[in-house]
Amino acid sequence: MTPALASALMPLMRGVDPERAHNLALAALRLGLAGRASEGDDPILATEALGLRFSNPLGLAAGFDKNAVAVAPLARLGFGFVEPGTTTPRPQVGNPKPRLFRLTEDKAVINRMGMNNEGLGAFAARLAALPRPLGAVLGANIGINKEGADPVRDYPALYAAVAPHADYVTINVSSPNTPGLRDLQGEAQLAAILSETMRTRAEATRQPPVLVKIAPDLALDAIPALIETCLTYGVAGLIVSNTTIARPASLRSGHKGETGGLSGAPLFAPSTDFLRQVARVNAGRLVLIGCGGIASGEDALAKIKAGASLVQLYAAFAYEGPALVGRIKSGLAAALRREGFSSVAAAVGADL
């Protein structure tokens, strides 16, 4: 099966419960039913960031493959990088169902999954078993359990476990569905986490760069301290941003009042504006990855021009399927040339 054919079957999934449909999609990927990209990437899309080489700047955000069960099939679809997770030290079932909602009229999703996952042991074992080269840069997204967590203890241990296998590691302190997690974005708590995590990194044989994923709802006046804290402890970059607890007035779906994090098309404009604000304060010191509402090559370029060196998507991929990856990449290549850019790197921050 080709990515185009797999995407053509996506409307059949709309009548299936969203969480069940997601699990079926992961099963299909594991069985190789989504196909693979038929050709290599346009050279204009090649870029370097975080000390790594990317054949293209388009990544799959954390949350799609929480347990790293379909990383290799996802890489074969043509993503430049894939970020499985969030994984937590111990397995957890997450929040009660239903906890995932399609806002079809809005091309959006609300989730309150609660970082359900099989735990670090299973996650790290699957990363270790992946074929290399993978064909895409491999991230790993780490977080803490809802109960019994000690962030200063847990994040370093999580880093140590995934560092031998990942090309970069993302510290998730921004999911809205784990009580108290977003409080860890505060200067003092983040400093304590990063201090211990970086101490662990310094002692590791393999030392993949560390990123921090932040929320789009973070107060603008908190950005300078957050960036300075990250720089103090040697963080390489920020993922801007996670889902939002805001509810734009434009939402039409009957599910718009559900509790949880909103992602998809309505997040594009506010998350891109937030990215631009972060980029202005950052002034090129940290690598920024733009995430939120990307569904086209033009969307990807808008994030890049707002300061992102790389971009990630999730909701649009869940709606449109594997063929979207190729469409975004070809659209981005065309948009770069149309606007006179010779490379992705040349476009980074062009709107600033």
SS3 sequence of the chain: CCHHHHHHCHHHHHHCCHHHHHHHHHHHHHCCCCCCCCCCCCHHHCEEECCEEECCCEEECCCCCCCCCCHHHHHHCCCCEECCCCECCCCECCCCCCCEEEEHHHCEEEECCCCCECCHHHHHHHHHCCCCCCCCEEEEEECCCCCCCCHHHHHHHHHHHHCCCCCEEEEECCCCCCCCHHHHHCHHHHHHHHHHHHHHHHHCCCCCCEEEEECCCCCHHHHHHHHHHHHHCCCCEEEECCCECCCCCCCCCCCCCCCCEEEEHHHHHHHHHHHHHHHHHHCCCCEEEEECCCCCHHHHHHHHHCCCCEEEECHHHHHHCCHHHHHHHHHHHHHHHHCCCCCHHHHCCCCC
pLDDT at 11: 60
pLDDT at 332: 99
pLDDT at 29: 95
Residue 121 pLDDT > 80: yes
Helix 297-305 / helix 323-338 crossing angle, nearest 10 deg: 50
Q: Would residue 55 show up in a list of annotated catalytic residues for this protein?
A: no
Residue 4 pLDDT > 80: no
Mean pLDDT of 293-318: 98
pLDDT at 26: 96
Rounded Cα–Cα distance for residues 59 and 81 (Å): 5
Contacting residues for 13 by C-beta, under 8 A, at least 6 apart? 21, 24, 25
pLDDT band at 140 (very low <50, low <70, confident <90, very high): very high
pLDDT band at 131 (very low <50, low <70, confident <90, very high): very high
Burial of 338 (0-12, 13-18, 19+ CB in 10 A): exposed
Residue 323 pLDDT > 80: yes
Mean pLDDT of 259-285: 98
Mean pLDDT of 106-133: 98
Helix 151-162 / helix 187-203 crossing angle, nearest 10 deg: 40
Mean pLDDT of 276-287: 98
Give me the catalytic one of 7, 55, 175, 271: 175
Rounded Cα–Cα distance for residues 44 and 330 (Å): 10
Residue 12 pLDDT > 70: no
pLDDT at 15: 75
Mean pLDDT of 70-92: 98
User: Pairing mode, if any, of strands 108-111 and 261-264?
Assistant: antiparallel
pLDDT at 174: 93
Residue burial 82-96, b: 16+ Cβ < 10 Å; e: rest = bbbbbbbbbbbebbe
pLDDT band at 38 (very low <50, low <70, confident <90, very high): confident
Residue 228 pLDDT > 80: yes
Mean pLDDT of 238-253: 97
Residue 13 pLDDT > 90: no
The rounded radius of gyration (Å) of the Cα atoms in the chain is: 19
What's the residue count for the chain? 352
47-72 confidence digits (pLDDT tens):
999 999 999 999 999 999 999 999 99
Tokens, residue 228: 């300075």
156-204 confidence digits (pLDDT tens):
999 999 999 999 999 999 999 999 999 999 899 999 999 999 999 999 9
Rounded Cα–Cα distance for residues 288 and 172 (Å): 15
Q: What angle do CA 21, 2, 268 make, to 5 degrees?
A: 55
Handedness of CA 126, 129, 132, 134 (dihedral sign): negative
pLDDT at 205: 97
Rounded Cα–Cα distance for residues 344 and 86 (Å): 28
**Beta bridge partners of residue 240, listed in sequence order:** 214, 290
Percent pLDDT > 70 in the chain is: 96
User: In whole numbers, what is the pLDDT of the chain averaged over residues?
Assistant: 96
Tokens, residue 281: 């304060």
